[in-house]
């Protein structure tokens, strides 16, 4: 499994570099307009029309390889392994203790008493 992931990563990197180089080699739409008015020479290594077809098809092949390698990495990366034993995370427990119950119930205060007497355990100011 590790070999397939390594191959997919290598293919992805090579195809990404190929896409970058092929896109930079291509002429933009503005270059055609300048050549039509005599502003630029249209001579290149593969000819005026041959370069667009060759570079376009090469870019399409490189991008297909890139997307296939990306899908392979996505599906290959979903394999879950058992967590490694030991280390700092092995000391963490997920058990939770129940909260401690109070020893005696809280004394009830009578709010119906309309007198403003302080309680016995309060110190008047």
Q: Residues 24-53: pLDDT tens digits?
A: 998 777 665 555 565 555 555 555 555 568
Please report which confidence band the pLDDT of residue 2 belongs to, taking 50, 70 and 90 as the band edges. Answer: confident
Per-residue model confidence (pLDDT) at position 59:
94
Calpha distance 70→51 (Å, rounded): 28
Domain residue ranges of the chain, discontinuous segments joined by +: 11-27+44-79
The span from the CA of 85 to the CA of 24, in Å, is 49
Average pLDDT score over residue span 47-67: 82
CB 26 within 8 A of CB 60: no
Identify the three-state secondary structure at position 121: coil
> Residue 42: what are its φ and ψ, rounded to 5°?
-100, 10
Distance CA 13, CA 21 (A): 12
The arithmetic mean of pLDDT across residues 96-108, rounded, is: 66
Q: pTM for this structure?
A: 0.49
**Nearest CA among 69, 62, 64 for reference residue 54:** 62
């Amino acid at each position: 499994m590790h070999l397939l992931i390594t191959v997919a990563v290598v293919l992805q990197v090579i195809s990404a570099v190929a896409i970058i180089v092929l896109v930079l080699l291509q002429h933009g739409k503005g270059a055609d307009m300048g050549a039509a008015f005599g502003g630029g020479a249209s001579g290149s290594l593969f000819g005026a029309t041959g370069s667009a077809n060759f570079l376009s098809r090469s870019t399409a092949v490189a991008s297909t390889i890139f997307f296939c390698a990306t899908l392979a990495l996505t599906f290959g990366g979903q394999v879950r392994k058992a967590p490694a034993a030991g280390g700092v995370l092995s000391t963490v427990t997920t058990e939770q203790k129940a909260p401690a119950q109070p020893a005696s119930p809280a004394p009830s205060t009578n709010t119906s008493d309309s007198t403003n007497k302080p309680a016995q355990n309060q110190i008047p100011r």
